[in-house]
Homo-oligomer: A and B are copies of this chain.
């Protein structure tokens, strides 16, 4: 049985409910960033951005490691997995009524997966042999 820690889910969903924070997560998915780098694109004081980062950190979605006077933030996706796990239970309820958009998305996913599969087959070689 899957156990959900509600304090964790509370914090994660709350963290995700703000568009600034979601944008920060997205930028972190591209690469690690310092606090000021993260703050830059938002029309907001550094202190304000710092608060958002702390919310993300408190929810376990971001980890920071301090290097001198700069704080480097990195995405930590595991808690997102928990949120998705919670949502997964509800799949059965929307799968019954897939609309066109969903169909299209799924088709795209399949296409991408297929493409990736082919590329793996022909394109990518193992980098290292694992010696036994």
A-B contact pairs, 28 of them (CB 8 A): A9-B16, A9-B19, A10-B17, A10-B18, A13-B13, A13-B14, A13-B16, A14-B14, A25-B90, A29-B89, A29-B90, A29-B93, A31-B132, A75-B90, A75-B93, A77-B93, A77-B97, A78-B97, A78-B99, A80-B90, A80-B93, A81-B91, A81-B102, A83-B87, A84-B84, A85-B105, A87-B87, A110-B131
Number of copies: 2
Chain A contact residues (Cβ within 8 angstroms of B): what range? 35 or more
Q: Is the CB of A80 within 8 A of B85?
A: no
Interface, chain A (partner B; CB < 8 A) = 2, 6, 9-11, 13-14, 16-19, 22, 25-26, 29, 31, 75, 77-78, 80-81, 83-91, 93-94, 97, 99, 102, 105-106, 110, 130-132
What is the bound-complex CA distance between A22 and B14, given in angstroms? 13
| Chain B hits for A87, CB < 8 A | 80, 83-84, 87
